[in-house]
Amino acid sequence: MTVFVIRRLLQAALVMIIMSLLVFGGVFLVGDPVEMLVADDADQAERQAIIKSMGLDLPFYMQYLRFIGNALQGDMGNSFVFQEPAMELILERMPATFELAIAALLIAVVIGIPLGIYAGLKADSWMSKTIMTASILGFSVPTFWVGIMMILFFAVILGWLPSTGRGDTVELFGIPVSFLTLDGLQHLILPAVNLALFKLSMVIRLARAGTREVVHQDYIKFARAKGLSTGRIIGVHLFKNIMIPVVTVLGLEFGGLIAFSVVTETVFAWPGMGKLLIDSIGFLDRPVIVAYLLFVVGLFVFINLVVDVLYSVLDPRVRLQEVKS
């Protein structure tokens, strides 16, 4: 186990270094941040001064080495736009995104698994067919459009839920969260559902496929023969076995939820990291873009590790030492 974790961490470091070079090189090639930031009527000398203060007058390799040097000391550089540490900006926005992603994941799991199991057990009923058709829609309709439609329907026409922002927050262990206030919860519902739709459809499909496979296995037949109740068979024996693919995929997808909640956050003006990323790209705020992407890479590596460990807990046959990744 320890060996496994250490090996994975070393691989992670390598991935991070390669990513930093790719990302840094990528954003270096695009546009000129000074053009984005400088006032229209600034003269040439003023422009030159800003270029210098941002270190953009240096050649690429110098800029990169400086960045790596600082990054090794935990400093990812200052945002061009806000002139505050890029990592601080990201961490400041992180709770909002995590809250949204966790809410979306909960919705996907709590609704998706029962629906999927049902569709798997009674594959031919009209109810199952409805569920499966709806899940195709969930896959294929763009998040942006669904978000706008949800705002139109629930906020503009019905007036039930607010259309924008995060609402009131309270501090939980020093982190601001909205789900503990009524106003915050109301603000959370639409974006969380919007973000969950895609994952929900996927969970339904995974759970259904798993159920259909597992339900014909010998141990289910044996359990039935032993006279166990249907509830116990589904709730314990079947449930545990279909969870393996679901956990794997959801683990990876959770990273995706956090990293790329960009669209939902933009539509609902949710003050999370995704909105920060989009704004930063608009302004060519290179340090924030680089820090964000590296952060996301780190996150993915970490989640993968957690998933592998969870795997061994769910399925004792898997031995971590043997996992060659």
By CB under 8 A, name the binding residues for other proteins: 30-33, 35-47, 49-50, 53, 80-84, 89, 92-93, 96, 147-148, 151-152, 155-156, 159, 162-166, 183, 266-269, 271-272, 275-276, 278-279, 281-284
Q: Nearer Cβ to other proteins, position 75 or 252? A: 75
Among 83, 57, 67, smallest CA distance to 25 is for: 67
Q: Nearer Cβ to other proteins, position 178 or 211? A: 178
Q: Nearer Cβ to other proteins, position 142 or 235? A: 142
**Residue 85 β-bridge partners:** 78
Q: Nearer Cβ to other proteins, position 113 or 262? A: 262
Q: Does residue 56 contact residue 33 with C-beta atoms inside 8 Å?
A: yes
Q: Nearer Cβ to other proteins, position 161 or 252? A: 161
| Cα atoms in the Cβ-side hemisphere of radius 13 Å centred on 65 | 5
Q: What is the residue type of 70?
A: N
Q: Nearer Cβ to other proteins, position 36 or 236? A: 36
* Cβ at position 88, least distance to other proteins in Å: 10
* Cβ at position 240, least distance to other proteins in Å: 41
Tokens 């806000």 belong to 82
* Cβ at position 97, least distance to other proteins in Å: 10
**Rounded-to-integer distance, Cα 170 and Cα 168, Å:** 7
Q: Nearer Cβ to other proteins, position 93 or 208? A: 93
**Rounded-to-integer distance, Cα 146 and Cα 152, Å:** 10
* Cβ at position 234, least distance to other proteins in Å: 42
Q: Nearer Cβ to other proteins, position 25 or 235? A: 25
* Cβ at position 201, least distance to other proteins in Å: 24
Torsion of the alpha carbons at 296, 301, 302 and 303, rounded to the nearest 10: 90
* Cβ at position 161, least distance to other proteins in Å: 9
Q: What is the residue type of 301?
A: V
Length of the chain: 325
* Cβ at position 170, least distance to other proteins in Å: 14
* Cβ at position 299, least distance to other proteins in Å: 19
- Is 154 exposed, middle or buried (CB count within 10 Å of its CB: 0-12, 13-18, 19+)? middle
Q: Does residue 139 contact residue 202 with C-beta atoms inside 8 Å?
A: yes
Cβ within 8 Å of residue 229, ≥6 positions away? none
Q: Does residue 264 contact residue 147 with C-beta atoms inside 8 Å?
A: yes
